[in-house]
Structure 1
Amino acid sequence: MTSAFSLLLPVYARDDPAQLERAFRSAVDEQTLRPTEALIVRDGPVGAALQAVLDELVASSPVPARVLALPENVGLADALTAGLAACAHDVVARMDADDVALPERFAKQLALLDTGYDLVGAGLYEFVDDESVTIGVRTPPTGVEHIKRYARFHDPFNHPTVVYRRAAVQAAGGYVPVGLMEDYWLFARMLASGARAENIPEPLVKYRVGAGAYRRRGGVAQLRAELRLQRMMRRAGITSTGEMLRNVVVRGGYRLVPEGLRKVAYRTLLQRGFKRGASS
């Protein structure tokens, strides 16, 4: 019997109403296996147009749906923490407010998770504006040992694709704000604490690469967040001193290169990380 599960979808003031509606419909109405409930976390006040879409989605959803309205914008990590606590079910599926889920996503992920896993991710397609035009594919590592090796250098999961058990998330300490890397830090701790994890290499989500995506990954603030992450990874015993230093040079340097080079470097780092994980 397939586990009951909650869809957890955060939204905030800068999200596009039309993209939110598309994301929700793809993850609820169009799924061959629909969530048992849908929980939208409204991270702070939003404009009238976005609020109107939220009201319509709740009213017309084919599964029970509700909005957890946070009075102030607290950021993604804290919004997800609040959302996890409010979900009715231990199994939770993540979705972002501007992506598109393929119809078989949950049927395939829940079938795998129900064999005994705590965390299941998937591959994804990248697009810009037209979801029918793919500009890239992210194929994650598979096999628990490969995933653990990969996690020493890069995030082994595509965050918008994951389905996990809330108990395993909480056992690892939950989401902690670390720049734009709260998901990486969570998944690394989950793996270190013994969570059973796997990826489906097949793309099951279409991921929107919006304007400024690579700009946000750079700058002094992200460099500081990267250095903090690497210190925490080392203290937790996830990386060795040598691996930490390697990451500071490679991942830290990536934060300081011009945006155009950062886009190229990002894909190069992913590919190198994958090969390193395969051979380590």
Structure 2
Amino acid sequence: MKNLPLISCIMSTYNEDISIIRQSIDSILNQTYSNIEFIIINDNPKREELELFLNNVQRKDSRIRVFKNFENLGLVNSLNKGLKYAKGVYIARMDADDISEGTRFEVQYNYLREYSLDIIGCKYKIIDEKGNWIRDENVPVDRHFVASRLKISNCIAHPSFFGKRVVFEQLGGYRNVDTCEDYDFLLRALAHGYRIANCEQKLLEYRISINGISQQNKYKQSLISNYLSHNLKCINNIDIDMLNDIIIDEQSQKRFNLYCFTISEENYFLKKIFLILKYSIIFYPFFQLYVLPRIKVKIINFYYIGIRKEN
């Protein structure tokens, strides 16, 4: 694989367990596509254990470039900082608690070029905190289906991003959209006419935590995601400060908790529908990938109280 263009992989670290960060880093360093630079942003400058570990791995592999923030900047600012230092023709994302398959970059590079795409993700496995398999996440692959799905909800895992550097440059990197910076980025890319898709192969193990995003943040994420998708035509003119000032009032929170409970209670009914549809090769994939997301959005809208700006 000589004379291949440089891929810049960007990852931000904060409070993840060192053993998990090590797994994530090793999965990038062991890629079959070897012409990479690995930019790691240390966004927890007060954590001495993290600094010592990152400095150590940097000394052992010249492909690693570690940059330490003087203060906690958050994910968006850290990623944008990494983009400024990136030298690659292509940009790849990675999270500090996920694991990439060894062929991920090679497959994504070839897939992007073969189908003349601009930014892609991939199918992925969801694992728990201990690395145990939970489920395979089924996402649309074809760029036309991906474009249709993105108009409803996000269907590309952020740590699976792989795209042309020019896309990130022309979009000005990430905007500081609370909990939805990746979805905002994809919608802006879609609005600019960029071609977006997913690889058919499962190339990422996506780790979820029991103590992950809080219920309040889930509610906020749902509102912001819904707002972004409904304003795709004017996505570049959205007031980001207004979005980040959303107030989560008690009544709205209770309604969203009810929504989560309703979805949970409906699982039995939905599973029965899935069992029936599974016998139909034609209709089940369509229902799972396109109809179900629309149903969920409708339910969110039903419980949606409204976005209020703090006075």
Residue in 1 that maps onto 2:166 = 167
**Contact residue 27 and residue 101 of structure 1 kept, 8 A:** yes
**Contact residue 152 and residue 293 of structure 2 kept, 8 A:** no
User: Residue 211 of structure 1: CA displacement?
Assistant: 2.5
Matches within 5 A, 1:76-115: 76-115=75-114
TM value normalised by structure 2: 0.73
1:184/1:56 Cα in 2 relative to 1: closer, same or farther (>3 Å)?
same
TM value normalised by structure 1: 0.80
- Tell me the percent identity: 22
**Contact residue 150 and residue 277 of structure 1 kept, 8 A:** no
CA deviations on 1:202-246 (whole Å, 9 max, x unpaired) are 211111111223535646644664465356435339xxxxxxxxx
Matches within 5 A, 1:101-180: 101-115=100-114, 116-131=116-131, 133-180=132-179
1:3 to 2, 5, 30: 5
* Matching of residue 274 in structure 1 with residue 274 in structure 2: no
User: Residue 51 of structure 1: CA displacement?
Assistant: 1.2
Instruction: Give the Cα–Cα distance (whole angstroms) in 1 for the partners of residues 253 and 233 of structure 2.
Output: 18
Residue in 1 that maps onto 2:47 = 47
Query: What amino acid sits opposite 1:185 in the alignment?
Result: D
1:175/1:122 Cα in 2 relative to 1: closer, same or farther (>3 Å)?
same
What is the root-mean-square deviation of aligned Cα atoms in Å?
3.2
1:258/1:187 Cα in 2 relative to 1: closer, same or farther (>3 Å)?
same
Instruction: Give the Cα–Cα distance (whole angstroms) in 2 for the partners of residues 163 and 93 of structure 1.
Output: 4
Instruction: Give the Cα–Cα distance (whole angstroms) in 1 for the partners of residues 51 and 41 of structure 2.
Output: 12
Which deviates the most, 79-88 or 207-216? 207-216
Instruction: Give the Cα–Cα distance (whole angstroms) in 1 for the partners of residues 142 and 292 of structure 2.
Output: 11
User: Residue 81 of structure 1: CA displacement?
Assistant: 1.0
Instruction: Give the Cα–Cα distance (whole angstroms) in 1 for the partners of residues 227 and 293 of structure 2.
Output: 26
1:209/1:220 Cα in 2 relative to 1: closer, same or farther (>3 Å)?
closer
Query: What amino acid sits opposite 1:175 in the alignment?
Result: Y
CA deviations on 1:113-137 (whole Å, 9 max, x unpaired) are 2333211210111111332x31011
Instruction: Give the Cα–Cα distance (whole angstroms) in 2 for the partners of residues 154 and 227 of structure 1.
Output: 8
User: Residue 105 of structure 1: CA displacement?
Assistant: 0.9
